Structure 1
Amino acid sequence: MKLLLLTLATLLLLSQLTPGDTQKCWNFHGKCRYRCHRKERVYVYCTNTKMCCVKPKYQPKQKHRLF
């Protein structure tokens, strides 16, 4: 029983310490970051003041207006 408790406590601690867990945004196609990668663009901002970095293929297409 003590071994089971120790194992569960260790797994819980490791799950909290795992780095790289970023918040998802833009329909789970983007990630909230302070800087976007080379092939990503900012379309909206996240609630935690970070930029929502989205690949261009997941961003909505802009319609060209003719005046």
Structure 2
Amino acid sequence: MNHKKVPAVELEAKDLPAHCPNPAMPLWSSHPRVFLDFGHDGLAKCPYCGTEYMLKPGTVVSHH
């Protein structure tokens, strides 16, 4: 089977807190909403569907 690599969804600070499924995903492919934790490398992966998310370079994540 040939698996296509889908590019990561790029997010900015205004998109945080990030969650999956995101608003651009079709309703038929929905799963329970899960909030994403970004590592120090600015990457996160949805545990349900495997969608990868990355923070745009220079994005500052504020912690409360």
TM-score range, shorter chain: under 0.3
Higher relative contact order (CA 8 A, sep 6+): 2
TM-score (norm 2): 0.24
TM-score (norm 1): 0.23
Instruction: Name the structure where helix makes up a greater proportion of residues.
Output: 1
